[in-house]
Amino acid sequence: MPPPPEPASPESPSPGRRLLGRAALGRAGRAALLATGRPPVPDAIEPLVQAHRRHHPQADLALLSRAYRTAEESHRGQKRKSGEPYITHPLAVTMILAQLGAETTTLVASLLHDTVEDTEVTLDQVAAAYGPEVAYLVDGVTKLEKVDFGAAAEAETFRKMLVATGDDVRVMVIKLADRLHNMRTIRHMKPASQVRIAKVTRDVLIPLAERLGIQVVKTELEDIVFATLHPEEYARTRALIAAQEAAQDALLSPFAAALRRQLAESGVSGEVTVRPRHCVSVHRALLRRGPSGPVGLVGRPHPADLARLLVVVEETADCYAVLGELHTCWTPLPGEFKDFVAAPKFNLYQSLHTAVSVDGALVEVLVRTPRMHRIAEFGVVALGSPHQAGADQTGRDELDGTDPARPGWLSRLLEWQQETPDPDAFWSTLTADLSDDGEITAVTEEGATLVLPVGASCVDAAYQLGEEIGHRCIGARVNGRLVALATALADGDVVGILTEPGGGPGGPEPTGPSPQWLEFAHTPGARIAIERWLAGHARPEPAGQAVHAVDSVASVEAAHVVDAAQVPPAGQGAPSAPPAPHGAVERPATARPAGGHGRLVVAPGHPGAAVRLARCCTPVPPDRVTGFQIRGGSIAVHRTDCPTGERMRGSGRGPVQLDWSPEAGAAATGAPAPFRVTLQAEALNRPGLLADLTAAMSATGLDIVSAVVEPPQELRVRHTYTVELPRAATLPVVMRAMLRVSGVYDVRRPGLEAPRPPRLRPNSRAAGNADDQAPGPVRPSKGMRDRSAALSAVDGQPEKP
């Protein structure tokens, strides 16, 4: 007699129940789904639905199913280059977006994104069936026809996408997913097409993915582009990574375990994982170390080059707790700590970065919260639709005061693209703008935040504050110190832009930029504004005037330079003859033919000797001069009151008798004979003094080579200018023009160093403020304060001491 069957336990279902689960569960599930009012979804999008529900459990699956059916019917019969049905492409693109966490509207637009471009479906039909929001996204990623735009179709398509992205960033998100799937299947394209598509991806799409913060898309695109354009280097790098995996695990796994224990002991809850670097990141690390071995081969990677540690903690405060534990228990490497939590990157990225020494090897560690991690991986997609109620707007870009729907970099890009109607110019400017590999954050002295590309100069900062400010810019301060406009800004700099007066409606037209600004204007917005100004305000350069590749305080007559490198520390006097600013076209001391006696100076008894005018005292006819022979047989010409000449005389060097040649001043003949001269102006400090002085000097037709402004002392300030005069007779005219500037009480040429006056003398500016008549013959004199030697005649009469 067989034993009775054992009762089925709840843990071990009966065969009948198992049969129901295998055969009828699908029917029962569909019946239950129908009972709830939800229609079944097509089998083809089941994986898509599952990925979407992980991020959006309450998603409208009926809308998604309807969009799939429309796309499938529209693309039916079409094939891809690989031979697969075309519907596989929109399905794959939509799966990428679902895995990123995009909301339903984006997925619907993704399924339909090629219907208007490649099928008979019209944009109006999409709008009628799915609403204007979906239609806008589909239109944004639809390519322009080559029939209508010819060779400019690609550039104009990207312009159209960028403009659409300015209103809805999801347009570019769909385009990036579309390009990612096309790159995954690029092997089916012709070799020439592979190279062309890979280069466009490298130059435009990857930088855009970086700016939108979508790192998972950016890194995969980088690796595919690397494999397409440089297959041998890609294969070699992959082989190096595979060879070092064991060493990497031996170093990082024990360190990760030790860090977990340390965090547990300190009461910090966090997940520690080893995060491998992608292939391009490893290759860059090897290139930074430099080549080794055979030509063309990079060095072998260290284990730490292949991966980093990622620590994900619950709260922002825990990030700094982890940092404390790391720096306490392991040796931190100086200069490797970066706080992107307190100061996020322009693409919303937040993490703490540090590096510690582990068994003699450098190991990088990233620390972030779960929300920071989502944004670091998925960028703007993790913030949800900017037009949807309840979207995560806490990711607002605090760096430039905009929200993720329109990042600051995108606003600036859209501004300059309007100024470049030519497709070729737009494309070259776009690729140049996107090629910048990073951004910096500077702060104005008024507290405004400026986000600029790495390498941006003070001119770029001026134009980012506004085109009017850029056109009126005459100088800049960085961290309280006067600097050249060509100076490249660094992260965290405090910038002050000096402008000429007269801004606002109804004010005088600004002097405007100099053509030389284009040599160090880094941002497209600044370059376009400068080029537009120069096109509408063309002015010829004075004959014989050398061009300076330095920053300029532009004027009607010439360009003026503010050279920050010559600003002395507080309490020190200005140098008597500042050197030429960095980047200037250096001129020899004579700047004139120096054969024989020279054209300017007569040296009897020394035929054929080269004659050079000394920089220290900058002699100008009719100064009393003397000469000294220097190395090479040349004769250095100094003013008789020059301290350097006095020292040379004291060292036993015999002076050489010489005098100015009759044509040196060129006052009568008008022949060009430029002279470099140093002038010092003593003034009461006030706003706009620098602008007024340079404007007054420029009106006389000279070229300002450099300017030094010392820190004010007791409300007084000293400006030292090195100028190049078109002729000697211009010097007294320049000095009178400087004395007419409000606040200036003395102008002199530095010779023997004279101290600042202890107090202002009454009526010290009386002569200079009068309406001077045309100057008479130039004669030497003691000048304004016993050491000047040029302002020597008024109304043809010598000035009284």
> How many angstroms separate the CA atoms of 322 and 327, rounded?
9
> How many angstroms separate the CA atoms of 497 and 384, rounded?
39
Mean pLDDT by 10 residues, the chain (801 residues): 43 39 46 50 87 90 93 92 92 94 93 92 93 92 70 79 84 93 93 93 89 91 95 92 86 93 92 92 80 48 83 94 93 88 83 91 93 91 67 44 52 69 72 70 86 87 89 86 85 87 67 85 85 76 35 29 32 35 33 39 68 75 78 75 78 75 50 72 83 86 84 82 83 88 83 42 36 38 34 34 33
> If we measure between CA atoms, which residue out of 106, 99, 118, 27 comes closest to residue 67?
106
> How many angstroms separate the CA atoms of 377 and 375, rounded?
5
Is 492 buried (19+), middle (13-18) or exposed (0-12) by CB count in 10 A?
A: exposed
Predicted confidence at residue 291, as pLDDT, reads 52
Give the dihedral sign, CA 772/778/779/780: positive
- Indicate the SS3 state at residue 482: strand
In which region does residue 287 sit, left (phi positive, over 0), alpha (psi from -120 to 50) or beta (all else)?
alpha
Backbone angles phi, psi at 309, to 5 degrees: -95, 135
* Greatest Cα-to-Cα distance within the chain, rounded to the nearest angstrom: 147
- CB neighbour list of residue 649: distance below 8 Å, 6 or more residues apart: 628, 655
Q: What residues form DSSP beta bridges with 85? A: 79
Predicted confidence at residue 742, as pLDDT, reads 82
Backbone angles phi, psi at 731, to 5 degrees: -60, -50
| Cα 394–chain centre separation | 26
Catalytic annotation, pick one of 11, 117, 403, 692: 117
> How many angstroms separate the CA atoms of 608 and 604, rounded?
10
Concerning whether 118 is annotated as a catalytic residue, the answer is yes
Predicted confidence at residue 477, as pLDDT, reads 87
Is residue 153 within a helix (H) or strand (E), and if so which, with residue range? Answer: helix 153-167
> How many angstroms separate the CA atoms of 411 and 405, rounded?
10
> How many angstroms separate the CA atoms of 346 and 441, rounded?
9
Residues 574 and 568 sit within 8 Å (Cβ to Cβ): yes
The structure's pTM equals 0.59
> If we measure between CA atoms, which residue out of 79, 148, 51, 67 comes closest to residue 115?
67
Which of 618-649 are b and which e, b meaning 16 or more Cβ less than 10 Å from the residue's Cβ?
bbbbbbebbbbbeeeebbbbbbbbbbbbeebb
Is residue 629 within a helix (H) or strand (E), and if so which, with residue range? Answer: strand 625-629
| Cα 599–chain centre separation | 48
> How many angstroms separate the CA atoms of 489 and 458, rounded?
7
Residues 475 and 525 sit within 8 Å (Cβ to Cβ): no
Is residue 463 within a helix (H) or strand (E), and if so which, with residue range? Answer: helix 458-464
Q: How many CB atoms lie within 10 A of CB 37?
A: 7
DSSP character string of 567-614: -PPTT-PPPSSPPPPTT-----SS-S--STT-SSEE-TT-TT--EEE-
Structure tokens given for 640: 């008789």
Structure tokens given for 142: 């639809």
Q: Angle between the 370-378 and 215-229 helix axes, to the nearest 10 degrees?
A: 40
> How many angstroms separate the CA atoms of 617 and 647, rounded?
13
Give the dihedral sign, CA 68/74/79/81: negative
DSSP character string of 487-538: PBP-TT-EEEEEE-S--STTSPPP----GGGGGT--SHHHHHHHHHHHHHS-
Structure tokens given for 382: 């993790």
Whether the bond into 622 is cis, omega within 30 of 0: yes
Strands annotated E in 653-714: 659-660, 675-684, 703-709
Structure tokens given for 687: 């706003």
Structure tokens given for 205: 């799409």
The DSSP letter of residue 483 is E
Is 289 buried (19+), middle (13-18) or exposed (0-12) by CB count in 10 A?
A: middle
> If we measure between CA atoms, which residue out of 661, 658, 663 comes closest to residue 604?
658
Catalytic annotation, pick one of 6, 73, 114, 118: 118
- Indicate the SS3 state at residue 184: helix
Predicted confidence at residue 352, as pLDDT, reads 94
> How many angstroms separate the CA atoms of 99 and 94, rounded?
9
Structure tokens given for 550: 């330095």
Predicted confidence at residue 504, as pLDDT, reads 60
Torsion on CA atoms 675, 676, 681, 685, rounded to nearest 10: 130
Predicted confidence at residue 373, as pLDDT, reads 94
The DSSP letter of residue 19 is H
Residues 67 and 131 sit within 8 Å (Cβ to Cβ): no
Q: How many CB atoms lie within 10 A of CB 363?
A: 24
Residues 587 and 499 sit within 8 Å (Cβ to Cβ): no
Residues 618 and 624 sit within 8 Å (Cβ to Cβ): no
Residues 110 and 177 sit within 8 Å (Cβ to Cβ): yes
